[in-house]
Chains A and B, each alone.
Chain A
Amino acid sequence: MIIEVNDLIKRYKDFLAIDHLNLTIGDGELFGLLGPNGAGKTTLVNAILGLTAVDHGTINVFGEALSTSERAIKKQIGLVPQDIAVYPELTAQENVTLFGKLFGLRGEALRKGVADALEFTGLTDIRNKKPSQFSGGMKRRLNIACAIVHKPRLIIMDEPTVGIDPQSRNYILESVKKLNDMHCTVIYISHYMEEVASICTRIAIVDKGRIIAKGTQEELGRLIEDDQVVSVGVTAPDYSIIEKLKRLPAVKDATVDGHTIRIVLSERKLNAVLDTFLEEDLTITKIETNTPTLEDVFLTLTGRALREGAQ
């Protein structure tokens, strides 16, 4: 096992950031950790790396507790932090070299590690430029280069694609897959459903400090296999209908978004739903039915959207 987290608890005063969390990640996995803002993803990573004290539970990395051989373990981990953390006044190459040295590389190994990391992230041509002149995507790539310079066994990426253009994002996602193909275990943290769905072999969904579901994409999908998602367009949505809909036995969830009412059904029976609309005398402009996505899995399990502003 690369990572084993047992019954982890982390409190900030009265606030439970990690709540009895259990997690195991095997060698060679490309593991996705999915959760909304404030779910406790970064806190979990900090706990794994010993950057924050935990209140209860154990964490083993590469089969050992971090405290037993901290230096040896950290030499084999690369963390891409959520916030870009590089020196703006040093060049890309100087930044990567600094981290190479911190990971214990010297001489030829250092030179090669730096060259490889820059090449891998596509920064070779601009290695002598300073990050203060970089675009958001370039900075994100440099942030990654600093974490892979020592060719770690485990890479943890905390939302590595926040705030960048689609092209850079695809580049990064491709790189993550390539790293995993090179026998590197990757923990990929995100609140973008599509990213995790497109690259990860196994996924855990975190909410309020707990893992509320985990498995392969198919396994997660099966959780709500029989469900159906129905979007009903109406001219004038009315909140009282939400209450009525929710009282129906087949309805798992109902939400309003603009002129659309979104309903998750546990059985494929639309009759009762349509009856309710007719009773309320609402004008239906369209009806759409869909099979559930990961986003719906999340919505169904937590009753909340994964990203603020998302459906």
Chain B
Amino acid sequence: MPIFQNNLKRFLNNKMNFVLIMLIPLIFISLSFSGSGTQKAKVGIIDRDRTQLTQAIKKAIRNQADIAPIAQKSLRTDLTNNRIDTVLVIPKNFTRSLISGKPIKTESYHVQESNVSSGIRTYISGYLQDLSVMAHAARGNSTQFYKSLQSYQQNHLGLSVSSPDRTGAMRERTVSALGFVIFGLFMIVSVSSRMIMEDKRLKLYTRFFTTPLSVRSYNIQNILSYLTLSAVTIILLLALLVFGFHAALGPSLVNIFLVLLLFSIVSISIGVLISSVARTAGQANALSLLVVTPVAMLGGCFWPIRITPVFMQKIADFMPTTWGMRALTTLVYGNGLKDVMMDLLILAGFAALFFLLGSWRRTDIAS
């Protein structure tokens, strides 16, 4: 496999590659884990739904903070007097829409720059995220949903007692760190398209096929080399997450690895597509730049999709990064591979589509 070996050598020779797919994610990952942990805070809850679920939410919050009785009227003064740190408002029909898979809608109020409340707010949003993931997995079946909620509460309770950090807050940070891992792997788009374009620019692409090498073998060896590079990157970054930051990566590290590897295949397919469309290395570079960062942003690699406007959330459905992030989030929150099957299938579909488009324009080798 001379092309395979040669690609690895070329990759290692070029320091820019490390900066792109390792160093940049590394810096952002470190940022995700910096900052303080959770603190006991005083939380006011206005529950307009009053269901089994909202009771469970209150119970979960009670484990982490003090619940203070409040009235709607005194809300503002209570907040400014620091009698309470944050207020959560659960709207009517919250439970029904959550189970049916709609985006979570709660309101929360807090005094700007209140450090005390930041921990519990992170916790609550993480917890709500957990709930929506469970709802996603239950596919609108409320019996199924409450069953998983029950087992979740048991596990969750055990965890929060023994190590308060492995709670929603830690998971939230882990997901945010994984967003940057995905971003790093998405840079493979640029690395792979650049290497293929370089072969063409140097006229090596044509020359290779004067030897017994076939186009198919060249393509397969190329893809395998980028896949190997991705696998190594994933292992290094996961090792950093586990040993360096004690990230909460869910029950199976292998599952996380597999999802990330599948995502790198999507990246490679986009790289191949770009190199087949672009005429020059410069065009390929510009195209990768145009694709990578916006798609990473829209797909929730830098911030959770749920905080973005609704129209952006709609666009996000067409971004492979979205499905990668979704699968990872689901896994981090304690689920297995079968709960992310749909996400994985969609990722595989993206890869198949891009590979197909990339091999569409078969022209002469010599042109």
Contacts and interface: CB of A to CB of B under 8 A. Distances in A.
A78 B6 CA distance: 20
B234 to A, nearest CB: 26
9 smallest beta-carbon distances between A and B, as pairs: A101-B2, A102-B211, A51-B366, A85-B203, A85-B207, A71-B212, A79-B210, A46-B366, A52-B366
29 contacts: A49-B210, A50-B209, A51-B209, A51-B210, A51-B364, A52-B364, A53-B364, A70-B212, A71-B212, A74-B210, A74-B211, A75-B211, A77-B210, A78-B210, A81-B210, A85-B203, A85-B207, A86-B202, A87-B6, A89-B10, A89-B14, A90-B9, A101-B2, A102-B2, A102-B3, A102-B213, A103-B211, A103-B212, A104-B212
A98 B6 contact: yes
A51 B365 contact: yes
B217 to A, nearest CB: 10
Interface in B1-29: 2-3, 6, 9-10, 13-14
B365 A87 contact: no
Contact of A85 (B6, B202, B365, B367): B202
Contacts of B10: 87, 89-90
B233 interface: no
Contacts of A70: 212
Contacts of B366: 46, 51-52
A198 to B, nearest CB: 27
Contacts of A84: 203
Given A51-B206, A52-B367, A102-B208, 12 more contacts: A49-B209, A51-B209, A52-B365, A53-B364, A75-B212, A81-B206, A84-B203, A89-B13, A94-B9, A102-B2, A102-B3, A146-B207
A84 B204 CA distance: 9
B364 A87 contact: no
Interface in A54-105: 70-71, 74-75, 77-79, 81, 83-90, 94, 98-99, 101-104
Interface residues of A, number: 30
Contacts of A49: 209-210
Nearest to B1: A101
Nearest to B208: A102
Secondary structure class of chain B's binding surface, majority of residues: loop
B261 to A, nearest CB: 28
Interface string B177-192: 0000000000000000
Contacts of A102: 2-3, 208, 211-213
Interface of B: 2-3, 6, 9-10, 13-14, 202-204, 206-213, 364-367
Interface string A122-137: 0000000000000000
A52 B365 CA distance: 6
A71 B206 CA distance: 16
Contacts of B211: 74-75, 99, 102-103
Contacts of B207: 79, 81, 85, 146
B165 to A, nearest CB: 46
Nearest to A150: B211
Contacts of A81: 203, 206-207, 210
Nearest to A146: B207
Contacts of B2: 98, 101-102
A99 B6 CA distance: 11
A83 B203 contact: yes
Contacts of B208: 102
A46 B365 CA distance: 9
B212 A85 contact: no
Contacts of B364: 46, 51-53
B334 to A, nearest CB: 47
B17 to A, nearest CB: 13
A49 B9 CA distance: 29
Contacts of A94: 9
A85 B366 CA distance: 13
A289 B109 CA distance: 104
B212 A87 contact: no
A95 to B, nearest CB: 10
A77 B212 CA distance: 10
A130 B158 CA distance: 61
A94 B6 CA distance: 9
A113 to B, nearest CB: 13
Nearest to A49: B210
A90 B365 CA distance: 24
Contacts of B212: 70-71, 74-75, 102-104
Nearest to A12: B367
Contacts of B365: 51-52
A32 B213 CA distance: 28
A84 B211 CA distance: 16
* Residue of A75, A81, A85 ringed by the most chain B CB atoms within 10 A: A85
* Residue of B13, B202, B208, B366 ringed by the most chain A CB atoms within 10 A: B366
B84 to A, nearest CB: 63
Contacts of A98: 2, 6
B204 A85 contact: yes
Contacts of A101: 2
Contacts of B210: 49, 51, 74, 77-79, 81
B13 A85 contact: no
Nearest to B206: A51
A25 to B, nearest CB: 17
Nearest to A88: B202
Contacts of B9: 90, 94
A87 B206 contact: no
B209 to A, nearest CB: 6
A74 B213 CA distance: 9
A47 to B, nearest CB: 9
A205 to B, nearest CB: 23
Contacts of A79: 207, 210
A251 to B, nearest CB: 42
Nearest to B14: A89
A88 B203 CA distance: 12
A89 B13 CA distance: 8
B204 A87 contact: yes
* Residue of B203, B207, B213, B365 ringed by the most chain A CB atoms within 10 A: B207
